[in-house]
Amino acid sequence: MTDQDRTAPEETSIAGWRVLHFDEIDSTNEEARRRSAAGDPGELVLIADRQTAGRGRRGRTWVSDPGNLYCSVLLKPAAGPARAAELSFATALALHDALVAVTGRDVGFALKWPNDVLFEGAKTVGILLESATGADGGLEFLVIGLGVNLASFPAETPYPATSVLAATGLAVTQAQMLAAFLPRLSHWVTIWERQGFAGIRDAWLARAAGLGSRLVVRLAHETLEGTFEGLRTDGALELRLDGGGLRAVTAGDVFPAEGTLR
């Protein structure tokens, strides 16, 4: 992609965020990285109608069909990498609350650990955090990439998926979703800045899918099964194993042991 291809339209502002909209781009996360390297101070939102090289967690390809919201938020928080990763929970809270607002559905949406939003047990939103650290170990930037299935969803995924349109019959636009999401993102990021993870932990758990139910957690080299008991103070999932022990899971793919997460 050439520099001319990446030329952004005129910058707009939504709820205090600088917003750039691309018709097509390789990846909004990659563009956020490029802009950070060029000296952008952050507090920037990049959206695209289509991505040619979108990606999800663990290097998975992210399908970028028209009508959905593909967005990356560039931040430069005054925090170390581990603490900055907590912003995935703040982002999930903002997306959950925005989806409730634009659909008018008080029930059905739930948060799936570590960073998805479900509707009636099917994945509606995916979140991907990427960051870079300097030679001193300090955080250079944080990019929060997200995809919201507004109009369509991939048919073959490791976890069942849906879209807002398919699940509710409502045609929610990119602009409507963004206008609902960004003020709520400011709200939850501000709480995190002032109170740390403790300020958002209970709110996340109140919206959690599968809390108190049995889960299967697939790790790189083993699979665990147990009861989802809560979150640790660092955001790790607490899994009560069948033998009685408590296991802290910091990364993994989570599935219901039976039935559907709700």
Q: What is the Cα–Cα distance from 92 to 113, expressed in whole angstroms? A: 10
Q: What is the Cα–Cα distance from 129 to 59, expressed in whole angstroms? A: 12
Contact 212, 227 (CB under 8 A): yes
pTM given for the model: 0.91
How confident is the model at residue 4, as a pLDDT?
40
Q: What is the Cα–Cα distance from 37 to 30, expressed in whole angstroms? A: 11
Judged against a pLDDT cut of 90, whether residue 51 lies above it is answered with: no
User: Tokens 């740390």 correspond to what residue?
Assistant: 196
The amino acid occupying position 110 is: A
User: Tokens 């299935």 correspond to what residue?
Assistant: 149
- Arch. (CATH architecture) of 12-206: 2-Layer Sandwich (3.30)
| Mean pLDDT across 69-81 | 94
Contact 122, 261 (CB under 8 A): no
- Arch. (CATH architecture) of 214-256: Roll (2.30)
Q: Please write the tens of the pLDDT for every residue from 127-163.
A: 999 999 988 888 999 999 999 999 999 887 888 999 9
Tokens of 126: 């995916």
* Domain residue ranges of the chain, discontinuous segments joined by +: 12-206, 214-256
Sorting pLDDT into bands at 50, 70 and 90, what band is 1? Answer: very low
Q: Which residues contact 36 (CB under 8 A, 6 or more apart)?
A: 42, 74, 76, 132, 140, 141, 143
User: Tokens 């929970």 correspond to what residue?
Assistant: 89
Contact 220, 201 (CB under 8 A): no
